[in-house]
Structure 1
Amino acid sequence: MAEWKAEGTPEGETPMFIAPLHLHHKDDEAWFILEGTLGFQIGDETIEANRNEAVIVPRGTPHTFWNPKQETARYLIIMTKQTKTLIEAIHSTEDRNPEFMKKLFEQYGAELL
């Protein structure tokens, strides 16, 4: 589990994804919103979760998330060790080449869509 913040989206701008659309083959993932709002695409469904609400994404489900509001969002993300290691690998690389990123996701049981 980790606590993170997502900067707000300036008025009139399109929110930026915090993570690209992806799925985890063997790992579930969950969020608990401490402050603010996060938007989620989970499969074909789009939802917003506010303070004191939780979102769970079952393994095998395409998903992404973003901060749709101007205010900063603060949240807990609950993940497996494999997902945590993937996130650390993403943050530590400067290579954002799509093919490299796809291979990186695959190394950790995930798929970049």
Structure 2
Amino acid sequence: MTSYPEFDFAANLRAGHILAPQGAALVIAEWTAPGCPTGEQAEFIAPLHLHHDDDEAWYILEGTLGFQIGDEQIEASAGDALTAPRGTPHTYWNPRADEARYLIIMTAQIRALIDAIHAMEQRDPESLKLLFERYGAQLLD
């Protein structure tokens, strides 16, 4: 079965859907991160930030992602899982030339923040800072 239109608690993530049942605090999505050309600096998928009340996790399906969680940096490959507990500064990127595919497990509040970022017409630092605060997060330098 590849589609679950009659259920709000099941989704085929490979079909681009996000599992975010109405009223649930947990959201799961499969995302991809384009590769970084050899010799170039990898771009952050998310800026360095923290969530005051929300935990976040990743499971790498294919490729490699680099993470900074707190003061630690790590490269995670297929089969690896990581968490950023609430209050912990974190960011991540794709350090390799190949695309990475991963699951992100987040709260509904983090999903709402990501949706709001994507809906922004102007992403200047001050507007982003205020938006992060509105969703219980803090944008860090």
What fraction of aligned residue pairs are identical, expressed as a percent?
67
Partner of 1:64: 91
> Residues 4-32 of structure 1: CA distance to partner in whole angstroms, max 9, x if unpaired?
00000000001000000000000000000
1:86 to 103, 109, 113: 113
Q: How far apart, in 1, do the equivalents of 2:80 and 2:68 lie?
A: 16
Instruction: State yes or no: 1:95 paired with 2:122.
Output: yes
Q: Secondary structure of the equivalent of 1:2?
A: strand
Partner of 1:45: 72
One-letter code of the match for 2:91?
Answer: T
Instruction: State yes or no: 1:13 paired with 2:13.
Output: no
Work out which of the two has the higher radius of gyration on C-alpha atoms and give 1 or 2: 2
Q: How far apart, in 2, do the equivalents of 1:69 and 1:5 lie?
A: 13
Report the alpha carbon displacement of residue 102 of structure 1 after superposing the two structures with TM.
0.4
> How many residues get paired?
113
**TM-score, normalized by length of structure 2?**
0.79
One-letter code of the match for 1:6?
Answer: A
**TM-score, normalized by length of structure 1?**
0.99
Instruction: Mark the runs of 5 or more structure 2 residues left unpaired by the alignment.
Output: 1-27
Q: How far apart, in 2, do the equivalents of 1:31 and 1:95 lie?
A: 28
Runs of 4+ aligned structure 1 residues displaced above 4 Å come to none
Q: How far apart, in 1, do the equivalents of 2:36 and 2:125 lie?
A: 25
1 or 2 for the larger relative contact order (CA 8 Å, sep ≥6)? 1
Partner of 1:34: 61
